[in-house]
């Protein structure tokens, strides 16, 4: 099942680019000074804007665009020429009719691989990192105010079923979903 999921994610990603290869942005992008979300934005690249790939570092790509160099998420880059407005709508409509799939904008989901078994075995408790994460905690009132401000609405999510125990499991199944508490 994991292999199938990895294959589907791989097929959903834009074509892999090689260093020095030109392409275009599939959405408006912010070029960052470093390959991390918190890095300062140093320039912008409009949807369908041209770039040249300089290097790739995990899910980040360093690109050159409009005389500036910066980092963007690799997922939002495609190789080749940007599509012309309206190009492919007729073919897409015909394929939609033939496959019965709904037409319209497609939403893609991006993710990064988890930790390897070796990384998990080598992991050590880091009190400083835990403190840094706990410092990001906000009160329930603050979270609800933020949700109202963003016009978010509550959604009921059913808890996952407890995993079936396998031979050799000594732990009893946990009926309480992670993160839930009585009255909470």
Count how many domains the chain has: 2
Pairing relationship of beta strands 22-25 and 50-57 according to DSSP bridges: antiparallel
Contacts of 16 (CB under 8 A, 6+ apart): 79
pLDDT band at 109 (very low <50, low <70, confident <90, very high): low
Residue 44 domain flag: yes
The boundaries of the domain holding residue 123 are 117-148
CATH number at residue 18: 2.30.30.40
**pLDDT at position 122:** 87
How far apart (Å, rounded) are the C-alpha atoms in residues 9 and 6?
5
Residue 86 domain flag: no
Do 66 and 124 belong together in one domain?
no
Higher pLDDT, residue 176 or 20: 20
Domain boundary among 33, 58, 79: 79
How do residues 122-177 score in pLDDT, each as one tens digit? 888 999 989 988 998 989 999 888 888 878 888 888 888 888 876 655 544 444 44
Residue 57 domain flag: yes
Residue 107 domain flag: no
How far apart (Å, rounded) are the C-alpha atoms in residues 100 and 173?
41
The phi and psi torsions of 170 (rounded to 5 degrees) equal -100, -15
Q: Is the pLDDT of residue 2 over 90?
A: no
Measured from the Cβ of residue 25, the count of other Cβ atoms closer than 10 Å reads 22
Do 69 and 122 belong together in one domain?
no
Do 71 and 14 belong together in one domain?
yes
Residue 133 domain flag: yes
Do 69 and 129 belong together in one domain?
no
How far apart (Å, rounded) are the C-alpha atoms in residues 32 and 43?
7
How far apart (Å, rounded) are the C-alpha atoms in residues 154 and 22?
43
Residue 21 domain flag: yes
**pLDDT at position 164:** 82
Mean pLDDT of the chain: 74
**pLDDT at position 42:** 95
Residue 58 domain flag: yes
pLDDT band at 11 (very low <50, low <70, confident <90, very high): very low
pLDDT band at 62 (very low <50, low <70, confident <90, very high): very high
Residue 109 domain flag: no
Strand (E) positions, 22-142?
A: 22-25, 29-32, 41-45, 50-57, 60-65, 68-73, 77-79
Do 72 and 15 belong together in one domain?
yes
What does the DSSP 8-state code read for residue 125?
-
Is the pTM higher than 0.95? The answer reads: no
Sign of CA dihedral 159, 5, 82, 58: positive
**pLDDT at position 8:** 41
Do 65 and 134 belong together in one domain?
no
């Amino acid at each position: 099942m994991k292999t199938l999921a990895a294959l589907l994610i791989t097929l959903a990603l834009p074509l892999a680019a090689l260093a020095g290869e030109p392409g275009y942005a599939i959405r408006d992008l912010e070029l960052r000074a470093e390959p991390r979300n918190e890095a300062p934005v140093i320039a912008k690249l409009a949807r369908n804007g041209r770039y040249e790939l300089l290097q790739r570092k995990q899910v980040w790509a360093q690109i050159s665009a409009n005389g500036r160099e910066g980092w963007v998420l690799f997922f939002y880059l495609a190789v080749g020429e940007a599509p012309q407005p309206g190009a492919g709508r007729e073919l897409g409509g015909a394929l939609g009719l033939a496959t019965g799939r709904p037409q319209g904008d497609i939403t893609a989901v991006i993710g990064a691989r988890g930790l390897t078994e070796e990384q998990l075995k080598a992991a050590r408790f880091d009190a400083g990192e835990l403190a840094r994460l706990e410092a990001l905690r906000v009160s329930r009132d603050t979270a609800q105010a933020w949700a109202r401000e963003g016009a978010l609405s509550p959604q009921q999510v059913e808890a996952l079923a407890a995993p079936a125990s396998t031979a050799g499991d000594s732990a009893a199944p946990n009926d309480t979903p992670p993160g839930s508490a009585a009255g909470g």
